[in-house]
Amino acid sequence: MPRRVRLVLLHGSQVNRAVWTRYAGLLGPHVELVAPDLPAHGARRGEPFTWEGALQAVTTAVGEPDGTPVVLAGHSLGGYLALAWAGRHPHRLAGLALLGASAVPTGPGALLYRVLARVEHRLGADRMARGVDRELAALLPSAVAAAVKDAGYGFDGIPDAWSAVMRECRPELLTEVTAPVLLVNGQLDQLRIDARRFRRAARSAPWVRVVTVPRGLHVFPLTHPAETVAALWELLAWARRFAPAAPPA
């Protein structure tokens, strides 16, 4: 029987854990899928977003070392949280995947994040919800779009979340991470511009891969789940074969 691997998937801003609805079927029975809601999103949308609170959510999802290899993957905001968590626990993971999170959120690159946070905040929750409804309806199967809507969007925490990303996240957080690193981006994703810098920073990793999803937008994990899972399988297979039974905490 194949060795069981735990895959923790962190969603991006605005949405919730339901964006990963199709992933369990694509990953199969030997992958333990853990997909938490982040603070201020989904079932936790009544809570304020704090950086430490979000990192604690990741810690809870990763769990205590029990011999099960853990691969941590995050999209957009979730990718930057995964980066920060791995930087604090550089020897804990069996694999790290940053999905749509390969832009340095400082200097010129920070403009993308500032515009995102300001526009979303000024529009207000009702207008934002209608806009996200339309976007998801256009991009996703109706059942998945409905699941994400029913689970609850998260708008109130956006300014705090992206301010924290700009303050806390740098490629250099990868420097001491000893797990393989996967950088996956959509071909048309604006947050892929610094993938080479992230790759260079991961100098303690046994290997680093940069994968581009053809014709993928920033939301490629939602629109291209099969391609995203195909990329993640390289990490999962490596973790199953090579990860030690008892990694450091």
The answer to whether residue 249 is domain-embedded is: no
Structural domain of 140:
5-242
Name the β-bridge partners of 96.
72, 181
Q: Is residue 115 part of a domain?
A: yes
Structural domains in the chain (count): 1
Q: Where does the pLDDT of residue 246 fall: very low under 50, low under 70, confident under 90, or very high at 90 and above?
A: low
The answer as to whether 67 is a domain residue is: yes
Task: Supply the CATH number for residue 116's domain.
Answer: 3.40.50.1820
Instruction: Confirm whether 247 is domain-assigned.
Output: no
pLDDT in tens, 90-123: 999 999 999 999 999 887 656 766 776 677 667 7
User: pLDDT digit string (tens) for 147-202?
Assistant: 999 999 998 888 899 889 999 999 999 999 999 999 999 999 888 889 999 999 99
Give the model's pLDDT for residue 226. Answer: 97
Q: Is the CB of residue 186 less than 8 Å from the CB of residue 213?
A: yes
Domain assignment present for 248: no
- Tell me the one-letter amino acid at 150: D
| pTM for the whole structure | 0.94
Confirm if 92 and 176 have CB atoms less than 8 A apart.
no
In a domain, 78, yes or no: yes
Residues 243, 18: Cα–Cα separation, whole Å: 29
- Of residues 10 and 129, more confidently modeled: 10
The confidence score (pLDDT) of residue 105 equals 86
